[in-house]
């Protein structure tokens, strides 16, 4: 269970990565010289950066696993 929990930050990161591609975009509008789908991808990237900032604070000690560092 603990091992599964440790995968949470990985899963969230992969989710952001998969969301960054504009699969479901139909609109080809241009905003500030960027296509709308490009803006969308940049926003997802920004959200990934913001998530990382929180993840570093929240998950660090959990991931460092300092109590259990014996190798196999």
Partner 1 sequence: MLNQKLFFPLLIFFIFYLTSLILLACLSKQKSKEKTLSDFYLGNRNFGFIVLFLTFYATQYSGNSMIGFTAKAYRSGFWVICTVTCMIASVAGIFLLAPRAYSLSRKYNFITPIDFLNHQYKSKLLSFSALIILLYGLATYMVSNLKALGHLMEFISQGYLSFESGIIFMALILVLYESIGGLRSVAYTDVLQGIMILIGCIGICVSLYLTFGSLSDIAPRLQEINPNHYKIPSLDKQSLWISTILLCFFGIPLNPHSIQRIYASKSKQVLKKSIIAMSFMPFFTTLLVIILGLYGLYLSPDLSKAESEKITLIVIEKLINKNLLATYISVVFIGSVLAAIMSTIDSALLSFSSMLTHDAYRHVTKNQTQKHLTYVGKLLSWITISILVLFAIYSPASIWRLVIIKLEIMCQLSPAFFLAALNIKVPSKKIVKGLIVGILITLAIIFRKFSGFEIPTIYSNVHAGIWGLFCNCIVLLPFTKIVSSIYSKAFPSSNLDLPR
What is the contact surface with partner 1 in residues (CB under 8 A)?
A: 3, 6-7, 9-10, 13-14, 17-18, 20-23, 25-26, 28, 30, 32-35, 37-38, 41-42, 44-46, 48-49, 52-53, 55-57, 59-66, 68-69, 71-72
Quote the least distance from Cβ 67 to partner 1, whole Å: 10
DSSP for 32-65 reads: TTEEHHHHHHHHHHHHHHHHHHHHHHHHHHHHH-
User: CB 63 → partner 1: shortest distance, Å?
Assistant: 4
CA distance 48 to 20: 9
CB of 49 to partner 1, least distance (A): 4
In angstroms, the first-to-last Cα distance of the chain is 19
């Amino acid at each position: 269970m603990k091992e599964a929990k440790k995968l949470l930050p990985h899963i969230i990161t992969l989710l952001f990565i998969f969301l960054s591609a504009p699969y479901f975009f139909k609109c080809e509008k241009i905003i500030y010289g960027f296509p709308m789908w490009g803006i969308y991808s940049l926003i997802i990237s920004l959200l990934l950066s913001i998530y990382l900032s929180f993840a570093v604070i929240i998950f660090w000690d959990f991931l460092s696993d300092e109590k259990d560092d014996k190798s196999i």
